[in-house]
Chains A and B, each alone.
Chain A
Amino acid sequence: MKNLAFILIGTFFGIVLYKSEAASWFRIYEMFQFDAIHMYGIIGTAVGLGILFVQWVKKNKIKSFQKEEITISPKKKTFVANAIGGVLFGLGWALAGACPGPMYALVGAGFVTILVVVLGALLGAFVYGLLKSKLPH
C-alpha cells in the first residue's frame, strides 16, 4: 500500500515535470537566458508553497501519516562542497538541459539518448564516491 503511494507520488511528479515543460532542454536554456519567466514561475511556486507547507508542519507539529513526529533532517553544512558541487552541477544541468528528476521523466517519455546522460550521471555519482575522501568539503 505504502509502496503504491510512493509510485503514485512519483507518477504525479513525473507528469508535472513533463507537462510543465520543466523537463525540456529548451526551457532550461531559456531560463539561463532570462528570456521568459516560465521556469522561475515553476521553481518559485514550488519553493513558495514549500516554505509555507514546511512552516505549517513545524509550527503545528503536524504528525506524519504513520502518526510519527516529522523531522526533516537538515542539509549538511559544507560550504566548499555545496559551492563547487553546485557549480559543477549547474554546468551539467545547462548542457544536459535536465536535472535528475526530469531525466527519469524523459526516459519514460521515450527519449533513448537521455539514457546516455543517465549513464553519465551514474558514473559521476560513482566517481564522487571514489574520490569523496580526497575532495575538500
Chain B
Amino acid sequence: MTQPSPTFEAPWHADVFALTVALHDNGTFDWPEWTHIFGSVLAQQGCDQELDGGDDYFTAWVIALEEMLSRKGLADSEILSSLKTAWTQAYLDTPHGQPVQIKRADA
C-alpha cells in the first residue's frame, strides 16, 4: 500500500476549492457554469506548458474563480488587486509568528 497523500497539497488549494464550493452551495453559480469556465482556463494554461495537476492546476482554479466572479459583477479586478497588495504588505510587515491581518483604508 502506498501512503495516503494529503487531500490538499497546500492550504491555499483547500481555500480556493472550499470558497468555490461554498459559492456554489449558496447558488451564486451552477456547477456546469463553473466547469465550463474552469475547463477553458485549464485549456488556455495548458497551451504554453503541460500542467502537472498540482500548483498549476489550482492556479488555473484561482484564475477561473476570478473570471467567474468578474463575469457576474461580483469582484472587480482592481479591488482584488488592491486587496492582494494589502495582504502582501501585511505579510511583509508582520513579525514571524504573529497573526497576519490586513489594514484597509476603506475598512
A is bound by B: no
Chain B residues within CB distance 8 Å of chain A? none
Chain A residues within CB distance 8 Å of chain B? none
